[in-house]
Amino acid sequence: MRLGLGVAAACAVVACAPLCAHAAGTIKIGFPIPLSGPTAVYGQPVLQGAQMAVAEINAKGGVLGKKLVLLPRDSKANADEAVRLSRELIIKDNVDFLVGTLTSAEAPAVSTVAKENKIVFIAPTSKSTILTDAQHIHPYIFRISSNTDVEGLAGATEMARFKSVKTVATIAPDYAYGRDSINAFIKALAKLRPDIKIVDEEWPKLGEADFTSFITAQMSKKPDAVYCSLFAGDFVTFTKEAKPRGYFTAIKNRMVDGAEVGTTDEAKALGNDYPYGIIGDAYDPVVWVGNEPAAHKKFITDLKAFTHAKYASGWSIVGYQSIYALADGIKKAGNTNSDKVSKALEGLTFDTPVGKRTFSVKSHETFAPEYWGVMAKEAAYPFAIIQNPELLPTSFPTN
């Protein structure tokens, strides 16, 4: 019996679920994800990647002879809403598994629900270390994305390459992801460039509507460069307010942002307002000039066709990977029992369009470096693209 349910509800679910699932011949996957608000610019394409994976798998006969059914819900990037939806998906919709959430506020909260109800939950994007650290790890939580330690090391590696930089300021959303990302960056930078001094830290709230005071405060410290963890709609709003004030000119565009502002999604959202010359990253550069893996080229071609989009998203890949990882875990387990699927996922190696990934037996996460590079303007594209994408870091951070 899954924990966290009322006795009557639990009995009804346990009594009905096997019969209903068998009769329908389906495997239900609950998918809470932001589909409205500032973070929907990432949430929508994550869902589309998952939907494409489901369509591909079902076209090949499904998993264990059963079709996958995705049940998306709009979490609004709100932890309480994500929890409510997850409980509803388990109790009312009788889902077999949970995949989804976007932010590091949502994912840890849903992880608690997964633990209570003993149901496998795969988080495609949340980076905060609290999701899978020693205090919070449990048998049912798995992470597809990199964590903030990996991101921080990559960002510090890029920042350290600015030889003339001696002072750095930071700006990040004031919640788990932002705090973890900045702490990891500062820790890694101290090892790579102990001569660099952090002169300012700004902490706007997630979803901040007016960054003026933060921009003014940071410019007054006159940093040589900035490390930024703003993302999605927040980065768009920030950039449109900072650029006219000469913010990027003052730092000579020496900004490193590890929050996936190198995606085509973010670049398209900003258009010509994009601060060309900064360093951004993405799980998938999408536009890949030279040395593009054949599997990735096919994935992008298929994604464009599936989404009816001229340009694919840099976020769809994590939703896509999550579903394929879960499907491989179910196949390995031989059934949909979450205890058995959890064991099957530990140490599991699965294919992705950008190479193989393996879930750590200890941490339940994969080593998922991202593609980094200078955001450049190319005549062939009406938005910024990552110039010469480089996979960073090359290994997990060491203490």
Task: Report how many helices (DSSP H) and strands (DSSP E) the chain contains, helices first.
Answer: 13, 14
Confidence check: pLDDT of 154 > 60: yes
Instruction: Lowest mean pLDDT of 19-33, 109-123, 188-202, 292-306, name the range.
Output: 19-33
171 within 8 A of 142, measured Cβ to Cβ: no
| 321, 144 contact by CB (below 8 A) | yes
**Residue 10's pLDDT is what?**
37
The answer to whether 296 and 353 are in contact (CB under 8 A) is: yes
Position 59 in a domain:
yes
> Model confidence over 127-142: pLDDT tens digits?
999 999 999 999 999 9
| Dihedral angle of Cα 260, 355, 72, 178, to the nearest 10 degrees | -30
* Residue 254 and residue 335 in one domain: no
Q: What is the pLDDT of residue 14?
A: 38
Q: What's the whole-number average pLDDT of the chain? A: 93
Residue 145: closest CA among 355, 349, 318: 318
Q: Are residues 56 and 141 in the same domain?
A: yes
Residue 212 counted as domain residue: yes
**Entry pTM:** 0.90
Same domain, 328 and 191: no
Check pLDDT > 60 for residue 153.
yes
239 and 139 in a common domain: no
Q: Specify whether 122 is located in the same domain as 22.
A: yes
Half-sphere exposure of 315 (CA within 13 A, CB side): 28
Assess if residue 291 is contained within a domain.
Answer: no
Mean pLDDT of the 194-211 span: 97
Pair (233, 375) in one structural domain = yes
- What tokens appear for 259 in the block? 């929050």
Question: 244, exposed or middle or buried, with CB in 10 Å at 0-12, 13-18, 19+?
Answer: exposed
Evaluate if residue 285 carries a pLDDT over 50.
yes
59-81 pLDDT tens trace: 999 999 999 999 999 999 999 99
- Please, what's the b/e burial string for 94-105 (b: 16 or more CB within 10 A of its CB; e: otherwise)? bbbbbbbbbbbb
pLDDT of residue 292 exceeding 60: yes
Residue 172 sits at φ, ψ, to 5 deg, of -155, 155
Handedness of CA 243, 247, 252, 255 (dihedral sign): negative
Q: How far apart are the first and last CA of the chain?
A: 40
Q: Residue 339's domain spans which residues?
A: 7-145+299-358
Domain count, the chain: 2
Residues 33 and 11 in one domain: yes
- Three-class SS of residue 228? strand
Q: Model confidence over 215-262: pLDDT tens digits?
A: 999 999 999 999 999 999 999 999 999 999 999 999 999 999 999 999
In angstroms, rounded to a whole number, what is the distance separating the alpha carbons of residues 367 and 379?
34
Q: Residue 300's pLDDT is what?
A: 97
Could you tell me if 239 and 161 lie in one domain?
A: yes
Q: Is 287 within the bounds of a domain?
A: no
User: Taking 90 as the threshold, does the pLDDT of residue 335 lie above it?
Assistant: yes
Q: For residues 298 and 96, give the distance between their C-alpha atoms in angstroms, rounded to a whole number.
A: 30
Task: Please answer whether residues 46 and 319 qualify as being in contact, where contact means their C-beta atoms are separated by less than 8 angstroms.
Answer: yes
140 occurs within a structural domain: yes
